[in-house]
Amino acid sequence: MAVTSDSSVRHGKLKAAEALLDEKPLLSETELALIRFTSDYYHHPIGEVVAATLPALLRRGSALFPVVTMTAATPAGAATALDVLEKRAPKQAALMALLVDSGANGVDADTLTEMMPGWRRVSGALLEKGLIEQFEARAEPREAVVELEMEPGPTLNEDQQHAVDAVRQKPGFGAFLLDGVTGSGKTEVYLDLIQNVLRDGRQTLLLVPEIGLTPQLTGRLRRRLGVEPALLHSGLTDLERLSGWREARSGRAKLVVGTRSAVFAPLPELGLIVVDEEHDASLKQQEGLRYSARDIAIVRASRAGVPIILGSATPTLEVLRHCEEGGYQRLELPQRAGGAEPPAVRIVDVSRSRLDEGLSDTLIDAIDKHLANNGQALLFLNRRGFAPTLICTACGNVCECRRCDARMTLHAEVGRLRCHHCGAERVPDEHCEECGSPLKPLGAGTQRIEDVLKRRFPDRAVLRVDSDSTRRKGSMDEALSAAALGEADILVGTQMLSKGHHFPKLTLVGVINADQGLFGTDFRSDERMAQSIVQVAGRAGREQMRGEVLVQTAFPEHPFWQQLVSESYHGVAIRALAERRTTGWPPYSRLALIRAAAHQRGDAHAFLSRALRRVEALGRDAVRALGPVDALMARRAGRYRAQLLLQSDDRAALHSVLRQLRPELEAEPAGRKVRWSIDVDPLDLF
């Protein structure tokens, strides 16, 4: 991090440097400052932050530029008469000819093998004769930078142009929410702005959700911008990642596209940051260094004095609040570009109808109709944030905690209902408290739905896409292209299918178990539910045929559905934001979650109780502590998990407590048996 002549670390504990890896520091002062900020903000050890930001090879001590062995013709070799050599040793002559042509810089072994597979066998004799030589050199990027042919884009519509102008008119840092319905042409706005940055010779960082970095997207960027994007994501080999990082660092890569960790890529000529689908949960790392790539991107843009665009059809309440209060500028694209109409959303009341494994007759009929019209259907199961609960079959009443305004979660394995806010638990009732009708658990799976569909539509191709069906590398891309080409008639899947994809034939979207999200345990349940439904609905009818969305619910009168149908996502978001203001949940307060796991449940709780007492002493009235309570999945991989939630209206107060707390917890004897972590701005509370 720095060179210094003294240290507060005891002499015996200091270690000697073993080797000098780089002549010049890998990271510039700007990048080091971002690392320091990240370490401070997330209360995470700085060494681990550095490690998390570096490509694996650099972390393990490789040089920035890998060294390769080059082979080249010597001056004597270049002067040799090749036709003479040809007669005696034709293979040697062929290799000589190749090397003479390649010049004095030589050729690396991999390239030689490609050009002349048996070259090693003949190289010995040539080396002995002094006609060729071998030496070590820095591996250079293999593909030369090519200027690609640029494909023109559509003329921007008025809303798009307005968005572009707003960003261009503001010099220096500015945060913009590009709030555009699905298919409204957000990507076209990014492209226009990126082109402008390219013209200035500066770099753009484009962050996308894990599932969004498809060959479709990179192809579009390449064609439209005429540059080769440098990629940084987890699907690459270590060497490819290092090479992308190097290209970014050298300033040669004008466009760096990556998932979460790319936010730390060194970018000396940074001119613009775009975060696509800013609401996507994959932008937040959920283990180790638990950072939000979106939030770090905002800090980074502000320090670099460049604009940042956050794009989404379903922006988070955090970002909407900033817009409301004037910190960020909201740019709207209210209509689909290219003239496609928004899909018609219809609520299907399933509270009284008979369901075939979760599918209503209305939905089955609609599938029939759309397939007959040459359309494609997508059935969506919302499983994120899913917590099993008990629900009344007649009135829809859900078992609630008696001490908190929260739903109880069913732990089927122990036959108990638990509250994950306060830890209360009880034996589940058999009948509804309100109306006395029987209660039943809420839940359904993609495989069950796939089976029904195959039975009901035996002549149709059904394709299931979820984390189980796409475990094999490349299978996700295969499934998506099969879906896009219309090879599958009916798609069944989870969130994976809902994001950013373009399926030209898709006209019907069915949301099967919508109610699960209505009764989630998390204060973000409503927001997430609305996001996933609006995102998946956005897949329907993106071309000529108008799309239709059927949402099955047992609670058609619930205000959530009313708002979603009449005012779309924003209706739900405005209500949720008002609710959060009243209840004091984020974005109207700040959270940090301390998690602990141990082989003995008591150890995890004892540790968190210690933490609780310290927080009470340090935080006074400014920081509230809730818990400790068991985690939703109280036992995982043989460890008991518990958590303590810290909440404050005052960010500085919360951070000051955490700053003092962390070293104390590190020194805490009760911590030895416990694995613990601090999660600042946690996304998943349970």
Residues making contact with ligand ADP (CB under 6 A): 154-157, 160, 180, 182-188, 337-338
Question: In the complex, what is the shortest distance from the CB of residue 433 to Zn ion, in angstroms, rounded to a whole number?
Answer: 7
Q: Which does 100 bind (CB under 5 to 8 A by kind): ligand ADP, Zn ion, none?
A: none
Q: Which does 421 bind (CB under 5 to 8 A by kind): ligand ADP, Zn ion, none?
A: Zn ion
The C-alpha torsion from 532 through 534 and 540 to 542, rounded to 10°, is -120
Is 223 a binder of Zn ion (CB under 5 A)? no
Site for Zn ion, residues 431 to 450, rule: CB under 5 A: 432, 434-435, 437
Question: In the complex, what is the shortest distance from the CB of residue 404 to Zn ion, in angstroms, rounded to a whole number?
Answer: 3
Question: In the complex, what is the shortest distance from the CB of residue 216 to ligand ADP, in angstroms, rounded to a whole number?
Answer: 10
Q: Which does 256 bind (CB under 5 to 8 A by kind): Zn ion, ligand ADP, none?
A: none
CA 432 to chain centre: 40
CA-only gyration radius of the chain, Å: 29
Q: Which does 424 bind (CB under 5 to 8 A by kind): ligand ADP, Zn ion, none?
A: Zn ion
Please give the structure tokens belonging to residue 462.
């059904």
Nearer to Zn ion, 399 or 623 (CB): 399
Q: Which residues contact 371 (CB under 8 A, 6 or more apart)?
A: 377, 457, 460, 489, 490
Nearer to ligand ADP, 159 or 603 (CB): 159
| Residue 201 identity | G
Cα–Cα distance, 156 to 159 (Å, whole number): 8
DSSP 8-state assignment for residue 400: B
Nearer to ligand ADP, 163 or 452 (CB): 163
Question: In the complex, what is the shortest distance from the CB of residue 379 to ligand ADP, in angstroms, rounded to a whole number?
Answer: 22
Is 392 a binder of Zn ion (CB under 5 A)? yes
Please give the structure tokens belonging to residue 71.
């082979």
Cα–Cα distance, 259 to 213 (Å, whole number): 8
Q: Which does 244 bind (CB under 5 to 8 A by kind): ligand ADP, Zn ion, none?
A: none
Phi, psi of 361, deg, nearest 5: -60, -40
Q: Which does 186 bind (CB under 5 to 8 A by kind): Zn ion, ligand ADP, none?
A: ligand ADP
Q: Which does 401 bind (CB under 5 to 8 A by kind): Zn ion, ligand ADP, none?
A: Zn ion
Cα–Cα distance, 323 to 607 (Å, whole number): 40
Nearer to ligand ADP, 155 or 582 (CB): 155
Q: Which does 170 bind (CB under 5 to 8 A by kind): ligand ADP, Zn ion, none?
A: none
Q: At what angle do helices 293-304 and 29-42 cross, to 10 degrees?
A: 140
CA 149 to chain centre: 31
Q: Which does 392 bind (CB under 5 to 8 A by kind): ligand ADP, Zn ion, none?
A: Zn ion
Question: In the complex, what is the shortest distance from the CB of residue 523 to Zn ion, in angstroms, rounded to a whole number?
Answer: 13
DSSP 8-state assignment for residue 675: E
Question: In the complex, what is the shortest distance from the CB of residue 291 to Zn ion, in angstroms, rounded to a whole number?
Answer: 30
**C-beta neighbour count of 284 within 10 angstroms:** 18
Nearer to ligand ADP, 341 or 557 (CB): 341
Nearer to ligand ADP, 276 or 295 (CB): 276
Cα–Cα distance, 73 to 61 (Å, whole number): 32
Nearer to ligand ADP, 154 or 201 (CB): 154
- Classified as helix, coil or strand, 274 is strand
Which residue has 């080059």 as its token pair?
70
Cα–Cα distance, 647 to 593 (Å, whole number): 9
Nearer to Zn ion, 208 or 401 (CB): 401
Asked whether 202 and 271 are in contact (CB, 8 A), the reply is yes
Nearer to ligand ADP, 122 or 337 (CB): 337
Is 424 a binder of Zn ion (CB under 5 A)? yes
Asked whether 183 and 340 are in contact (CB, 8 A), the reply is yes
Cα–Cα distance, 359 to 343 (Å, whole number): 21
Kind plus residue range of the DSSP H or E element containing 271: strand 270-276
Q: Which does 184 bind (CB under 5 to 8 A by kind): ligand ADP, Zn ion, none?
A: ligand ADP
Nearer to ligand ADP, 272 or 634 (CB): 272
Is 397 a binder of Zn ion (CB under 5 A)? yes
Question: In the complex, what is the shortest distance from the CB of residue 339 to ligand ADP, in angstroms, rounded to a whole number?
Answer: 8
Nearer to ligand ADP, 183 or 671 (CB): 183
Q: In this chain, which stretch among 207-215, 411-419, 443-451, 516-524 interacts with Zn ion, using CB under 5 A?
A: 411-419
Asked whether 407 and 516 are in contact (CB, 8 A), the reply is no
Question: In the complex, what is the shortest distance from the CB of residue 458 to Zn ion, in angstroms, rounded to a whole number?
Answer: 38
Nearer to ligand ADP, 535 or 648 (CB): 535
DSSP 8-state assignment for residue 314: S
Pick from 380, 378, 344: nearest CA to 513: 380
DSSP 8-state assignment for residue 84: H
Q: Which does 195 bind (CB under 5 to 8 A by kind): ligand ADP, Zn ion, none?
A: none
Is 63 a binder of Zn ion (CB under 5 A)? no
Q: Strands 203-207 and 270-276, how do they pair?
A: parallel
Helix extents (H) in 427-538: 446-456, 475-484, 515-518, 525-537
Question: In the complex, what is the shortest distance from the CB of residue 500 to ligand ADP, in angstroms, rounded to a whole number?
Answer: 7
Q: Which does 156 bind (CB under 5 to 8 A by kind): ligand ADP, Zn ion, none?
A: ligand ADP
Question: In the complex, what is the shortest distance from the CB of residue 261 to Zn ion, in angstroms, rounded to a whole number?
Answer: 37
Cα–Cα distance, 550 to 369 (Å, whole number): 13
Residues within the interface to Zn ion (CB under 5 A): 392, 394-395, 397, 401, 403-404, 419, 421-422, 424, 432, 434-435, 437
